[in-house]
A and B are shown apart, each in its own frame.
Chain A
Amino acid sequence: MYPLTPALRLGFRRSYLNWALALTVPDLQSVRQQTCSDYLLSIPLCLVFLFIRAYSRKFVAKIITNMSIKRKPKLAVWKFASCDGCQLSLLDCEDELLAVVDKIEIAYFPEATRAVAKGPYDISLVEGSVTTQHDAERIQKIRKISKILITIGACATAGGIQALRNFKDVKEYISLVYAKPQYIETLDKSTSIASHVRVDFELRGCPINKRQLLEIVSAYLNERKPNTPSHSVCIECKRRGSVCVMVSQGISCLGPVTHAGCNAICPSFCRGCYGCYGPKETPNTSSLSGKFSNSGLNNDSIMRMFRTFNACAEPFRKESEAHEIQEAGSKKSETRI
């Protein structure tokens, strides 16, 4: 047995000590015989061991962090009732796609690849709205296997264009559209993902903007807040130097009540905003409707302006319904006359 050296008291493993002694002092027996010199020798050894241990710890820590970095976050892309346009925005990241797959494992994305990696997933991008009982159950399962759930597009965040059914009786539609309506199983309403499960982030747009999608991914990877402001389209419009189409040409534009994100593309082509990104923070839809009304739009036109891709987003739904009721009221009064 080795004598109990200060090195051992410091808790070094014997094998380390043995190895180090063998390296530094070839004749172990002579060391054992001279206890005093053993102690003296152990001081520089102690320093050597401390160095080795500190270095090896740092090295191990580096390996561990490298391993955790190397384990790419798993991304899944899920489809519900939608047109696939938002998923295509991800595929549309042509120049950046290699960088994306370098940092993220695309684990489930049937639109792009048949290869499927098992969950749970770090990020789930959900496209589309819930329109069937099967989907209502599926989204619960997806939530359970997803660390972060991000909805992409107007369907997932507000019910989409298919939420127009919410204003009518869906059975009437089915009987009109399908030859054999009995085969169709659908819910009465098209609803957003957030009305079923907890959503961590909603990315707006119909379709979403590729630049914003990359911003979300980049923000996630760099652990920072994504820059997706919820102010009006007008701010983006003015920043790019476009002239207000509503003021200069009298074109009806939803920009003042619509969420930014598209970089005001329509006004830059002399078209009014269609509200693809849904309502902005604190939208004053009734004041804007008043402006439309003053410039000659009737209630039906105003109702139709608010009733598009984000028809069931709360502020837009309320505004369109306000004009629908008025329309019905005015029609009734007309028929009475």
Chain B
Amino acid sequence: MNIAILECDHLQILLDVLRKRGYQVIGPTLGEGAIVYSDLNSTANLPIGWTDEQDGGTYRLKKRNDKALFGYTVGPHSWKKYLLPSELRLWKIKRNGVSFQIVTENEATRKFAFVGVRSCDIHAISVQDKVFMNGQYIDQHYTSQRKDTFIVAVNCGKAGGTCFCVSMNTGPKATFGFDLAMTEIIEGKNHYFLVETGTELGAEIFREIPHKQANEKEKCAADDILRKTAEQMGRSMDTSNIKDLFYRNHEHPRWNNVAERCLTCANCTMVCPTCFCTTVEDVTDLMSEHAERWRKLDSCFTMDFSYIHGGSVRASTKSRYRHWITHKLATWIDQFGTSGCVGCGRCITWCPVAIDITEEVHAIRESETVIGKQKTIVKEDIHANTGTLSGRTSFFKRP
């Protein structure tokens, strides 16, 4: 893999080259008191000298002491904003006498270049690729957007208070799924990026930008930064046998505890970079001449989500939270062969009441190891009280 040095001042050339090649360049910018993803035409629009402080239920922007361009972690937005739009018209129809006619739209697919994609988000994109592109049912919109997406990854020089990518084995260094990957290095007056090329297209584009070969010292500096980041992780999660942990604990007093705190507001699923559930709405006009079908981002925390005739299957908060976390960390593995969690920490930061996925896993695991005996008694009690629900565990297991 070719490793080169890109001077900070030359980053603008990269953006210009991408734009010249017809890419819509998207990257981190300052907006609404957070670092959000939007159009990025100039490096001046990057949150230069800003960082974020994150913890359960809080996010604050802070000034840095330097002029770092990527000195922060992930914000409220994820790249699914572009690959899996929150609202998308699938098709529209026009009345044609007693029949109808599908109105075809020649919607030019945009070519996106994502700048500043973190390793956890690359993993999240690859998780969604599995869902929408590699399975039995291929999502046309996602595939058409995704196949032309150019990814400029940025290795994290800082870990956030809610990050746990090291536990999930998804960071902080991008190892795949990028066209170019950069590590930002600031040493006194020297401000440069160590750039790795991941694809032939990445190399081709990078050749158009002035750069020089990296020496060992510079490579070591980058490794050093990444090692420090890995040590700074704000959260951690023990993922050993995590699938069985959840299957074993389908009934657990902790679920009632979470239900007391959970608002079922769906913030966690909306900010999650891997959550992919959508709903479909049909709309008509007053004249009954046009109808449209829209796909909207949905959440398993709503009643409508599990509504079948007669009512919602998951009416209680307990069952909804349990469903979400069990899918994310256990059934996802059966379904798609990977974990549904990439350790970005967004669900912890953006939960208004700071429900922490790592804490919940820890609490359940802890209850098994420390008070294993006691737990069995509690479990038996629950079964005695609620009628045997333990059989339901098999319901969660997918073939």
Closest CB pairs A-B (n = 9): A238-B270, A256-B265, A239-B86, A243-B32, A256-B263, A231-B302, A234-B265, A99-B286, A232-B265
Verify if B87 is at the interface (C-beta below 8 Å from A).
Answer: yes
- Give which listed residue, A99, A235, A247, A282, contacts B350 with CB less than 8 A: A247
Instruction: Decide: A231 and B284 in contact? CB cutoff 8 A.
Output: no
Residues on A with C-beta less than 8 A from B285 are: 99, 218
Restricting to B277-322, which residues have a CB under 8 Å from any CB of A? 281-288, 291, 296-297, 299, 301-304, 315, 317
Chain B 245-288, CB-CB to A under 8 Å as 1, else 0, gives: 00000000000000011111111001100000000011111111
Structural contact, A248 and B302, CB atoms closer than 8 A: no
Asked whether, in the complex, the Cβ of A218 is within 8 Å of the Cβ of B286, the reply is yes
In the complex, what's the smallest C-beta–C-beta distance from B267 to chain A, in angstroms? 5
Whether A249 touches B81, Cβ cut-off 8 Å, given contacts A235-B299, A288-B352, is no
The interface centre, meaning the residue of A247, A281, A290 with most chain B CB atoms within 10 A of its CB, is A247
Question: Are A235 and B260 touching (Cβ within 8 A)?
Answer: no
Q: Is the CB of A243 within 8 A of B286?
A: no
Establish whether residues B270 and A239, one from each chain, have CB atoms under 8 Å apart when the complex forms: yes
**A205 located at the interface, meaning its Cβ lies under 8 Å from any Cβ of chain B in the complex:** no
Q: List 6 A-B contacts (CB under 8 A).
A: A100-B286, A231-B266, A243-B33, A247-B349, A248-B59, A270-B32
- The distance from the CB of A152 to the nearest CB of chain B, in whole angstroms, is 17
Q: A238-B86, A239-B297, A247-B349 are in contact. Are A281 and B267 (CB under 8 A)?
A: no
- Give B356 Cβ to nearest chain A Cβ, in Å: 14
Q: Does A257 contact B (CB under 8 A)?
A: yes
Q: A-contacting residues of B (Cβ < 8 Å)?
A: 31-34, 36, 57-61, 75-77, 81, 86-87, 260-267, 270-271, 281-288, 291, 296-297, 299, 301-304, 315, 317, 349-350, 352-353
Task: Decide if B33 touches A249 in the complex (CB within 8 Å).
Answer: yes
Q: How far is the CB of A247 from chain B (nearest CB, A)?
A: 5
Hey, which chain A residues are within 8 Å of B352, CB to CB?
244, 246-247, 253, 256, 288, 291
Q: Which of B87, B271, B288 contacts A221 (CB 8 A)?
A: B288
Q: How far is the CA of A245 from the CA of B59 in the complex (A)?
A: 10
Question: Once the chains are docked, how many angstroms separate the CA of A235 from the CA of B350?
Answer: 13
Contact call B32/A242, Cβ cutoff below 8 A: yes
Contacts of A232 in B (CB 8 A): 263-266
CB distance from A38 to the nearest CB of B (A): 41
Complex Cα distance, B59 from A103, in Å, reads: 50
Partner of A282, one of B87, B264, B267: B264
Question: Given A284-B263, A291-B57: A244 and B303 within 8 A (CB)?
Answer: no
Q: Which residues of B contact A99 (CB under 8 A)?
A: 285-287
Q: Does B36 lie within 8 Å of A241, measured CB to CB?
A: yes
Q: Count contacts between A and B, CB distance < 8 Å.
A: 136
**A187, CB-defined interface residue at 8 Å:** no
Among A102, A221, A234, A249, the one with the most B-chain Cβ atoms within 10 Å of its Cβ is A234
CB atoms of A284 and B304 under 8 A apart = no
Interface pair B353/A234, CB less than 8 Å apart: no
A232→B298 CA distance, assembly (Å): 11
- Nearest residue (CB) in B for A214 is B286
Min Cβ gap B26→A in Å is 12
Report Cα–Cα, A242/B283, bound state, in Å.
Answer: 24
Interface size class of A (residues with CB under 8 A): 35 or more
The interface residues of chain A lying within 8 Å CB-to-CB of B282 are 224, 227
Q: A239-B86, A246-B352, A287-B262 are in contact. List 17 more A-B contacts (CB 8 A).
A: A102-B286, A103-B286, A215-B283, A219-B284, A227-B283, A232-B264, A238-B271, A239-B270, A243-B33, A247-B76, A281-B302, A282-B315, A282-B317, A284-B260, A284-B263, A287-B353, A291-B353
Contacts of B317 in A (CB 8 A): 282, 284
Interface residues in A266-305 by Cβ distance below 8 A to B read: 270, 281-284, 287-288, 290-291
Contacts of A243 in B (CB 8 A): 31-34, 36, 75-76
Closest residue of A by beta carbon distance from B299: A235
A240 proximal to B (CB < 8 A): yes
Closest to A285 in B: B263
State whether the Cβ of A255 lies closer than 8 Å to any Cβ in chain B.
yes
Q: How far is the CA of A129 from the CA of B30 in the complex (A)?
A: 45
Contacts of B265 in A (CB 8 A): 232, 234-235, 255-257
State how many angstroms separate the Cβ of B321 from the closest Cβ of chain A.
11
In the complex the two chains form, is B58's CB within 8 Å of A231's CB? Answer: no
Q: Let me know if B304 and A241 touch, CB within 8 A.
A: no
